[in-house]
Chains A and B, each alone.
Chain A
Amino acid sequence: MAEITMTEALNKAIDEAMAEDDGVFCLGEDVAAKQGGGVFKVTSGLTEKYGENRIRATPISETAIVGAAVGAALAGQRPICEIMLMNFVGVCMDQIVNHAAKLRFMSGGQTPCPMVLRTTTGVGVGFGGQHSDMLEAWFAHVAGIHVVTPSNAADARGLMRASIDANDPVIFIENILCYGLKSEDPGPGYRVPLGKAAIAKEGSDITLVTYGRTVLDALEVAGELDKEGISVEVIDLRTIAPYDEETVLASVRKTGRAITLHEAVRPFGTGAEIAANIQEKCWDSLKGPVRRIGGTFSAVPFATVLEQAWIPQKSDLAGQIKASVGKA
């Protein structure tokens, strides 16, 4: 089977959904052909197929973009809006938090809001403090939203289709450093259900819960530790909120140990919630405290040496795993 990149995977998923349902359309800054098909080319080629009404290039107006997606969703369409970089969601939080997330609930179920908000971010590309943050915890903290992030191209295709199908708002986070990752193309119609984690690698000594780009680090470290006789089970959440608690807890009951890992800063991150939940529900199975690893609690720096030092370190991950299992 042919390989595809994550960019191609996302493009195919959107293309396929647009072909099947006239109500699916895209809007965002620079998304149309005239502007080059999206700053990371995810919507490349779609204007030519579906026209400028369904691939709407917008002004730089994040509030208006998300608001339009909310309104169109209330009217029964399935908009996919793009906020070019995740830090810019700060500009349109009212539309996401007060409206998209709450209109199903506040209307007593009358007006669900089936929209996808695609956004991109990531540490390691030298974008500095205002273009690099992982802000998933902001949204995970609000009831009424799914928060999704793929770690590989196949999942990206399947998660995007499932997100477009979903009858609620989805924040879909694409990590810039993952766009070029290749997977075997799972083909048309492929879906990865929301709320289902993947066991990216089975293991028996410790459970490592992560998502997005740090899954790659987790797998690398786990592979190395295998050689030292430490068996790490890596869980790729895929959907960060609401997350697959069942898979996480079952794994921890099996291994007796857990670490959470994410690129977002450690304090008040999603790892804290997951760790606390594990300790509440798996106390009897735990052989030690649940540890958390995350980004440094500062803005993401620009200079390469600083930026690289900011990212959760693989050496720290390996060290904490070894300490957890008593082999430090």
Chain B
Amino acid sequence: MADIDREKLLDIYTRTMKVNRTDEKFRALLMEGKVAVMYYCVRGQELVSAAAMAALEQDDYVVCTYRGQGEQTAKGIPIEKWWGECLGKDTGTCKGKGGTMHITDPDTGIMVTTGVVGSGLPIANGLAMASQNNGDGRVTLVSFGDGAANIGGFHEAMNMAQLYKLPIIFLCQNNRYGEHTAYADHTDSPDISSRASGYGMKGIKVDGNDVNQIYPAMEEAVAHARSGKGPVLVEAMCYRMMGHFFGSDFSYMPPEHLEEMQREDPLPKLRKVMLEHQFTEEELDKIVADIDAEIDGAVEHALAADLPSTDEIYKDVLEETA
């Protein structure tokens, strides 16, 4: 597999750490009781979303799920707006009306964040259909988990996308859990990616913890979709290191499996690759420190920001109320 160039590696590393530091900060704020909102932790899945976003162009469309922090911050939503929305403030991307599960920021291509498992796939088809109709060359990427692969909409969307050869990437982040149910307890086939062939679609299964696997796979998928050859189903194997949502019980996750998966943690692995490419410890630490400072500033800004006016409940219902 072709080596990833240093510039791209640096880009992926920066995006990955932005996702990770945002996640760490969010959990710290929740633990400290400074905020009390629903949050779906992405620990363990940082690299998949960062590599996927690094393979896209800025104007490509993304549809993600309530566990979409990775796609959102890695795609480049201005973090003050992102934090503002998560804390329900007027300064948020959606004026505090969407919240952690419904982040939208068309400027960075984040078109829908859905709180309904699997619902994003049919919508992503429509975004891709619009691109196909008007020839704008954009690719749409829709991210979802292994649990979503079992709803009807998944199958309908896959079939339709292949039928029309839509420029779309179905990115299944197989984090081994559908809510509180382990993969083996919700699916009796070894993987999701092999379903692609059932639709005549290109399918790729890849280690989402290894940058040298996940990034080239995403690059290949994006090139395939953009060239008009149709959709690709990418199954990125990863692991959700925490419970379904922050604070939820995760005693159903066997500790020995967690320990095993912690050895596959994408972050130390990525750091090792960076060092192999002659990035220094200092350079890498500096990137993280800069990200932390930026996040701290954004959080302070969000905490101090105004709450939305209660008039907002009447606005944006229909165009007449915009």
A binds B: yes
Q: Which residue numbers of A lie inside 8 Å of B, CB to CB?
A: 22-23, 25, 53-54, 56, 58-59, 61, 63-64, 66-77, 79, 94-95, 98-99, 103-112, 143-144, 146, 166-168, 242
B111 CB–A CB distance under 8 Å: yes
Quick check: A111 and B112 within 8 Å, CB to CB? yes
CB nearest to B113 among chain A residues: A106
**Interchain CB contact (< 8 A) of A22 among B105, B132, B134:** B134
Quick check: A144 and B318 within 8 Å, CB to CB? yes
Q: Which residues of B contact A75 (CB under 8 A)?
A: 61, 111, 126-127, 130-131
Chain B residues 301 to 322 lying within 8 A of chain A, measured CB to CB, are 312, 315-319, 322
Complex Cα gap A192–B152 (Å): 38
In the complex with contacts A56-B164, A71-B129, A111-B111, A104-B122 CB distance below 8 A:
no
Quick check: A59 and B160 within 8 Å, CB to CB? yes
B173 CB–A CB distance under 8 Å: no
Q: Which residues of B contact A146 (CB under 8 A)?
A: 318
Complex Cα gap A183–B133 (Å): 35
Quick check: B317 and A143 within 8 Å, CB to CB? yes
Quick check: A67 and B316 within 8 Å, CB to CB? no
Q: Which residues of A contact B97 (CB under 8 A)?
A: 105-108
Complex Cα gap A108–B321 (Å): 11
Shortest CB-to-CB span from A242 to chain B, Å, is 7
Q: Which residues of A contact B164 (CB under 8 A)?
A: 56
CB nearest to B125 among chain A residues: A68
In the complex with contacts A95-B123, A98-B119, A64-B104 CB distance below 8 A:
no
Q: Which residue numbers of B lie inside 8 Å of A, CB to CB?
A: 61, 63, 92-98, 102, 104-106, 111-112, 114-116, 119, 121-134, 140, 152-153, 156-157, 159-160, 163-164, 312, 315-319, 322
Quick check: B318 and A168 within 8 Å, CB to CB? yes
Quick check: A107 and B130 within 8 Å, CB to CB? no
**Interchain CB contact (< 8 A) of A168 among B105, B119, B153, B319:** B319
CB nearest to B313 among chain A residues: A105
Q: Which residues of B contact A58 (CB under 8 A)?
A: 160
Complex Cα gap A106–B130 (Å): 22
Q: Give the most central of A68, A70, A71, A94: most B CB within 10 Å.
A: A71
CB nearest to A69 among chain B residues: B126
Extra contacts, 20 of them, besides A66-B122, A69-B126, A104-B316 (Cβ < 8 A), are A53-B133, A54-B133, A58-B160, A63-B156, A67-B122, A67-B126, A68-B129, A71-B63, A71-B124, A71-B126, A71-B129, A72-B129, A74-B112, A98-B116, A99-B119, A104-B318, A108-B95, A108-B312, A146-B318, A168-B318
Quick check: A107 and B134 within 8 Å, CB to CB? no
Shortest CB-to-CB span from B159 to chain A, Å, is 6
Q: Give the most central of A59, A70, A94, A108: most B CB within 10 Å.
A: A108
Complex Cα gap A75–B104 (Å): 13
CB nearest to A53 among chain B residues: B133
Quick check: A71 and B127 within 8 Å, CB to CB? yes
Complex Cα gap A106–B83 (Å): 16
Q: Which residues of A contact B128 (CB under 8 A)?
A: 71
Quick check: A110 and B104 within 8 Å, CB to CB? yes
Quick check: A76 and B93 within 8 Å, CB to CB? no
Shortest CB-to-CB span from B94 to chain A, Å, is 4
Q: Which residues of A contact B318 (CB under 8 A)?
A: 104, 144, 146, 168, 242
Quick check: A95 and B133 within 8 Å, CB to CB? no
Quick check: A72 and B126 within 8 Å, CB to CB? yes
CB nearest to A166 among chain B residues: B319
Quick check: B98 and A106 within 8 Å, CB to CB? yes
CB nearest to A77 among chain B residues: B130
In the complex with contacts A104-B316, A109-B315, A64-B119 CB distance below 8 A:
no
**Interchain CB contact (< 8 A) of A107 among B94, B116, B133:** B94
Q: Which residues of B contact A110 (CB under 8 A)?
A: 93-94, 104-106
Can you pick out 17 interface pairs between chain A and chain B where the beta carbons lie within 8 Å of each other? A22-B133, A63-B153, A64-B157, A64-B160, A71-B111, A71-B127, A71-B130, A72-B127, A74-B127, A95-B123, A99-B116, A103-B104, A106-B94, A106-B97, A107-B104, A108-B94, A110-B106
Quick check: A106 and B102 within 8 Å, CB to CB? yes
CB nearest to A22 among chain B residues: B134
Complex Cα gap A25–B129 (Å): 11
Complex Cα gap A59–B125 (Å): 14
Quick check: A71 and B98 within 8 Å, CB to CB? no
CB nearest to B61 among chain A residues: A75
Shortest CB-to-CB span from A95 to chain B, Å, is 6
In the complex with contacts A72-B126, A72-B127, A104-B318, A59-B104 CB distance below 8 A:
no
Quick check: B122 and A71 within 8 Å, CB to CB? yes
CB nearest to A57 among chain B residues: B163
Q: Which residues of B contact A59 (CB under 8 A)?
A: 156, 159-160, 163
Q: Which residues of A contact B312 (CB under 8 A)?
A: 108
Quick check: A99 and B123 within 8 Å, CB to CB? yes
Q: Which residues of B contact A53 (CB under 8 A)?
A: 132-133
Shortest CB-to-CB span from B184 to chain A, Å, is 27
Shortest CB-to-CB span from A85 to chain B, Å, is 18
Complex Cα gap A99–B119 (Å): 9
In the complex with contacts A64-B159, A106-B97, A144-B317 CB distance below 8 A:
yes
Q: Which residues of A contact B127 (CB under 8 A)?
A: 71-72, 74-75
